[in-house]
Amino acid sequence: MAAKLKTAILGATGYSGLELTRILERHPRVEKPLLLQRPSDGANGNTGNGALHLEEIFPELSGNGEYPLHVLSWRELKRQGVELLFLATPHEASRALAPEVIAQGLRVIDLSGAWRLKQERHRAIYGFADADEARAATLMEQAIYGLPELNADCIKKAQLVANPGCYATSVILALAPLLSAGVIDREHGIISDSKSGVSGAGKSPTARTHFVAVADNLSAYSVFEHRHLGEIAEQLGLKDEQMTFTPHLLPIPRGILSTIYLRLNRAMSGAEIEQCLREFYAQKNWVRVFPAMKLPQLRFSLHTNYCDLGFCLADDCRRLVMVSCLDNLLKGAAGQAVQNMNWMFGWDEREGLQ
């Protein structure tokens, strides 16, 4: 049997990092990952709350052995034979770290938004200040957008994979087949009304994600300004004005449901829409297409790596509503990162995710 792949995770203390740790631990081709933290996260190997082990932060890991957190050291990564580093770090940290990781000869899957956006006008929303602008620009061109259903061949050879955003994944997978078929009236505009559980906002508490603000509530945020809007437009080849994306915060822990409204440029039947979706995602393991008028629900995709797609077509055969559901921590983050790893190393994309 071939030696198992050695991986490391920087940022395992977040929700996506925890899910990534769990998946890699059970992956048949991967050794238990080395868990890392930046020196700035705490002195003497401690996290900000003084914990030395991940199970002290996430007690649900208790009883499965120890999960020590190590301070990032290139020498130690080389000594242990690590070949792939997952960055589950804030956008700014990933932007600064990735060039150095690549220089060390490691392959990288970055779960942040640091390397997703090719166009400067979209990337400006992050306000990155690159220490070496030329180096960052070169790496930006080399980075592969890690949506396997669209970019599997490029992912295989990638040194740096930019894992897609959770909202963006739900919207892109819903629209890509119809845009590819050229049946959407782009000038009429597309509207995505997307709702996410609170874990999508990250682990650090804020006034907006506090229990008192979230419970028994539903709120819209970042209207016309969300970071995933540029990501959606770039990947689908849309003009910014052709896409209206409004995210909402649901009073639940996890999951995304995107309801997408569009107009077709010709009359189509429900059977034609369904055939378009099924043909586009034939042999794609992690997209499930529902029959016409049968819509997915959040509970169907939670705790899985599936993106579920359904639709309803109006009587005029031109107005179409798409519904896309996924787990924001799995297909929207950690699960998709492992799916990308499987492609990078030539394995079945379902490995470790079933």
Confidence of residue 248 (pLDDT cuts 50, 70, 90): very high
CB 284 within 8 A of CB 149: yes
CATH of 7-163+333-344, picked from 3.90.1150.10, 3.30.70.2080, 3.30.420.40, 3.40.50.720, is: 3.40.50.720
pTM for this one?
Answer: 0.94
CATH of 166-326, picked from 3.30.1280.10, 3.30.1180.10, 3.30.470.10, 3.30.360.10, is: 3.30.360.10
Question: Which strands, in side-by-side order, build the sheet including 7-10?
Answer: 69-71, 34-37, 7-10, 84-87, 107-110, 160-162, 144-145
Q: Radius of gyration (Cα) for the chain, nearest Å?
A: 20
Residue 109 has pLDDT above 50, yes or no: yes
CB 90 within 8 A of CB 69: no
pLDDT tens column, 317-351 = 999 999 999 999 999 999 999 999 999 999 999 99
3-state secondary structure (DSSP) of residue 330: coil
Q: What pLDDT is recorded for position 20?
A: 97
Write down the domain spans for the chain: 7-163+333-344, 166-326
List of residues 6+ apart from 186 with CB closer than 8 A: 179, 238, 239, 242
Q: How far apart are CA 265 and CA 166, in angstroms?
A: 28
> Any idea which residues carry the catalytic annotation?
166
Residue 45 has pLDDT above 60, yes or no: no
